[in-house]
Amino acid sequence: MRSISRAALRPYVCHSCRNGIGAGRRRFATNSSQTPEIYDVVCVGGGPAGLGLLAALRASPVTSKLKVALVESQDLRKARSWDLDSTQFSNRVSSLTPSTVEFLRKIKAWEHLDVDRVQEYQDMQVWDGETGSRISFDWSTETSPFEDMRTVATMTENANLVRGLLSRIEASGDENLTLFSNTTVASIENGSDLQSEGPDLSAWPIISVAPTAPGAQAQSPTRIAARLLVGADGINSPVRSFADISTQGWDYNRHGIVATLALGDPDKPSFPANMRTAYQRFLPALGGPIALLPLPNNHATLVWSTTPENAAYLKSLSTPAFLAMVNAAFRLSMTDLTYMMGMERSSDQFSHEDELIWRLQHTPKQSQIPPSATGVQEGTVASFPLRFRHASQYISPRVALVGDAAHVIHPLAGQGLNLGMADVAALSRTIEYAVSHGMDIGDLLTLERYSSERYLPNAKIGGACDLLHKMYTIPGQGPITWARSLGLDVIDRLPFVKSFLMKNAEGY
């Protein structure tokens, strides 16, 4: 019986094993170590960017015949079979701009996502905790009152996106696709000139991949040659090190706290009924903004950028105290918040909850604040350091960097993943152009099309996020505070400036 299950598993079995299982042919290890198997595109890193590139290449009729491989150290089978109850949400959530969703639809990956787990929002309220100046991002100036409100962004769990992309890639599987799952890059080096035996691979990267599974270490690593080696391997990219590309940047000395929260009922029902809102309040005194982004079933994901000390303090709090702090952060004045951030952790007399209730009585009632957070999903409170990095270049002969390997930015505008997907869309377009014009897809003349399309937009968005972070971490009532509030108020009242900014941020 030629079972279906083998066909389904096929992409997850590495090439050499596949030959071993399938054909029962004998192969000598020495043979395979002499001549590497040649691939058109080898993508290191199976995150959203790497998988997005593969899915895009498989989706285009021009590039679907390319021989492609993906190298991922995690178990892709686990990612493929990821499943959570409909009331549970992963804490790794991303905001997808309409252009990213458009790209996912174009490569026919969107239909592989569980759409019951994604949440669109049509309005974003951003305000300054110091002065209260506020801006509301929605598309009402661009649409007529009779239309549905246009989506500002779509929230999705990264796991849902990764599973969908894997499913899309799997659906296109054939002999030109190899997924090296549970596999790390042991080394990357230049190939050699095979002289009269074959081609001159001395300028080609040869990747040695080794399985991470215990017991498999004894196996000799598989050697694969890449016409184009794509680094989608994150901030500490081994591909970037191989290509000897430097990065500039700094650590923000801030941590982002994430958590999945259950929300109470809003004070007044939203209108129209299906409209959802995202909220972000800048807290200059605490070192960064707090954001609450909607998820389905009246849930939300929290992203709170703050100093490492505050982050450690918040993570050590009991669940009710943590919730009180989150609700306080959207409601209380900077002075009250700073006080509460210094309260003793577990004192019976003065709990964070009571403190919040008492202080709220003395705080003027605000409009447009998020509903109260009423519960924290167990095990979802986590934090990660915030950094800024930008590679000095994205390309080198036969190497291209995408996503976090090329740029890491402050998450305050939720743009990180979208920039990575825009990279992938541009790189797949570049490869498509090259294939249809006889160009070598690893050649610098080909890759410079990708780099010139993406370098400046990424630098612009990354720089804008950095500037916003710096402006909004200056506490007190000084001239900068006055200027930023004036700026926010002015932009909110000038529809064309606001829609220009939004179009830039959304990638329209």
Partner 1 sequence: MASLRPRSLALRALRTAPTSSGPLYRHTSRLPSLLSQRSPNNRSHSTSSVSADEVSHFSKLASSWWDPMGPSRILHLMNPLRHEFIASCLADSAPAGSPVPQSSTPETAANLDYLDIGCGGGIFAESLARTIPLDRAASAPTPTRAASMTAIDPTTTLIQIARDHARMDPTVEAHMRSGRFQYLNTTLEDVLAGSTPASTSASTPASSSSPTGHQQFDMVTLFEVIEHIDPTTTTPQAFLANCLRALKPGGWLIGSTISRTFPSWILNQVIAEAPWPIGVVPRGTHEWSKFVNPSELYSWAQEGLMRAADTNVTRAGPAALDGMRWKCVGTIYVPGLGWKIVPGSEDWGNYFWAVKKGI
Question: Which parts of this chain interact with partner 1 (CB under 8 A)?
Answer: 38, 62, 65, 193, 198-204, 433, 435-440, 443-445, 448
Side-chain-side CA neighbours of 309 within 13 Å: the count stands at 5
Name the residue among 456, 436, 414, 83 with its Cα closest to residue 279. Answer: 414
Considering beta carbons, is residue 357 or 444 the nearer one to partner 1?
444
For residue 195, the minimal CB distance to partner 1 (Å) is 9
Q: Which is nearer to partner 1, 448 or 492 (CB)?
A: 448
> CA 180, 409, 394: angle at the middle one, nearest 5?
55
Nearest distance from C-beta of residue 15 to partner 1, angstroms: 17
Shortest Cβ distance from residue 437 to partner 1 (Å)?
Answer: 4
Give dist(CA 53, CA 59) in Å, integer: 10
Buried b (16+ CB within 10 A) or exposed e, 489-504: eebbeeeeebbeebee
CB 125 within 8 A of CB 278: yes
CB of 438 to partner 1, least distance (A): 4
Q: Which is nearer to partner 1, 63 or 481 (CB)?
A: 63
Q: By C-beta, is 215 or 438 nearer to partner 1?
A: 438
Q: How distant is the alpha carbon of residue 289 from its chain centre?
A: 19
Nearer to partner 1, 66 or 291 (CB): 66
Could you tell me if 108 and 117 are in contact, meaning their C-beta atoms sit under 8 angstroms apart?
no
Task: Kindly state the tokens that stand for 50.
Answer: 């790497």
Q: Is the peptide bond before 272 cis (omega within 30 degrees of 0)?
A: yes
Nearer to partner 1, 310 or 446 (CB): 446
Between 383 and 396, name the residue whose CB sits nearer to partner 1: 396
Smaller CB distance to partner 1: residue 3 or 195? 195
Main-chain dihedrals φ then ψ at residue 74, nearest 5 degrees: -80, 170
**Which CB sits closer to partner 1, 7 or 203?**
203
Q: Of 93, 216, 250, 218, which is closest to residue 158 (Cα–Cα)?
A: 93
Q: Report the SS3 class of residue 260.
A: strand
Q: Distance between the two ends of the chain, CA-based, in angstroms?
A: 51
In whole angstroms, how close is the CB of 226 to partner 1 at the nearest point? 11
Q: Nearest distance from residue 468's CB to partner 1, in Å?
A: 30
Shortest distance, CB of residue 216 to partner 1, whole angstroms?
29
Q: How far is the CB of 106 from partner 1 (least distance, A)?
A: 21
The amino acid at residue 505 is: A
Q: How far is the CB of 14 from partner 1 (least distance, A)?
A: 21
**Long-range contacts, 203-207 (Cβ 8 Å, 24+):** 203/397, 203/398, 204/398, 204/442, 205/42, 205/229, 205/242, 205/398, 205/399, 206/36, 207/42, 207/44, 207/71
Q: Which is nearer to partner 1, 190 or 253 (CB)?
A: 190
Query: 204 or 252, CB closer to partner 1?
Result: 204
CB of 183 to partner 1, least distance (A): 23
Determine contact, residues 43/233, Cβ cutoff 8 Å.
no
Task: Specify the residue, 199 or 495, whose C-beta has the smaller distance to partner 1.
Answer: 199
Tokens of 502: 């939004």
DSSP H or E stretch at residue 262: strand 247-263
Rounded to an integer, what distance in angstroms lies between the CA atom of residue 465 and that of residue 326? 23
In whole angstroms, the minimum distance from the beta carbon of 62 to partner 1 comes to 8
CB 306, CB 286: distance < 8 Å? yes
Q: Least distance to partner 1 from the beta carbon of 41, Å?
A: 14
Q: Cα–Cα distance between 310 and 504 in angstroms, integer?
A: 33
SS (H, E, C) 29-51: HHHHHHCCEEEEEEEECCCHHHH
